[in-house]
């Protein structure tokens, strides 16, 4: 009695309703929620070792199951970050930074000798394609956020 529900302590709510002035516009919000869904699917894929392209970037290289379980937990942090951004415009820059660093990191891995050493001469085109799609999502979010800020 008198205790706030857990959700009220985690999400920025006020008297059961959210302050609409701090929410991203509808298009940006939907794009961020799409990211939440994507990251949830990615977390499940990594947790259960379901090696499907886009959900598992390096789907055809050797891996250790425990590493992928760790990745699944880290991906849940992305889902939480994007949820917060979808609910609170001021959190969008943090989501953009995280996604941008991820794109740079994936590019570094794609170009690395370490990846090349496990590919046995196979192409990295599939990894670059997936990295490019994530980069395109980053550019989309960045553009939507910039437009949202100009309109505010």
Asked if the model's pLDDT at residue 81 lies above 80, the reply is yes
- Residue partners of 116: CB distance under 8 A and separation at least 6: 124
**Structural domain includes residue 115:** yes
Q: Flag whether 49 is in a domain.
A: yes
Which of 8-12, 23-27, 38-42, 49-53 comes out lowest in average pLDDT? 8-12
Number of structural domains in the chain: 1
Other Cβ atoms closer than 10 A to 11 = 13
For residue 98, is it within any domain? yes
Q: For residue 87, what are the domain limits? A: 24-151
Question: What mean pLDDT is predicted for residues 95-124?
Answer: 96
Per-residue pLDDT tens over the stretch 45-66: 999 999 999 999 999 998 888 9
Span 110-131, mean pLDDT?
Answer: 95
CB neighbours (10 Å) of residue 16? 6
Evaluate whether residue 31 is within a structural domain: yes
Indicate whether 93 belongs to any domain: yes
Cα(41)–Cα(38) distance, integer angstroms: 5
pLDDT confidence bin for 21, thresholds 50/70/90: confident
Q: What is the pLDDT of residue 12?
A: 47
pLDDT of amino acid 18: 53
Q: What is the pLDDT of residue 16?
A: 42
What is the reported pTM? 0.84
Alpha-carbon distances, residue 111 vs 49, 68, 131 (angstroms) = 24, 21, 12
The span from the first CA to the last CA of the chain, in angstroms, equals 39
Distance CA 43, CA 125 (A): 23
């Amino acid at each position: 009695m008198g205790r706030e529900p857990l959700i009220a302590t985690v999400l920025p709510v006020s008297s059961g309703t959210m302050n609409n002035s701090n929410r991203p516009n509808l298009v940006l919000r939907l794009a961020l929620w799409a990211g939440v869904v994507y990251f949830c699917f990615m977390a499940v894929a990594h947790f259960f070792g379901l090696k499907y392209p886009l959900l598992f970037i390096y789907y055809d290289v050797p891996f250790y199951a425990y590493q992928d379980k760790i990745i699944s937990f880290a991906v849940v942090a992305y889902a939480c970050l994007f949820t917060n951004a979808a609910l609170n415009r001021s959190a969008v820059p943090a989501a953009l930074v995280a996604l941008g660093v991820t794109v740079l990191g994936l590019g570094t891995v794609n170009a690395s000798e370490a990846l090349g050493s496990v590919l046995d001469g196979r192409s990295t085109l599939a990894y670059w394609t997936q990295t490019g799609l994530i980069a395109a999502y980053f550019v989309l979010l960045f553009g939507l956020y910039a437009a949202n800020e100009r309109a505010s």
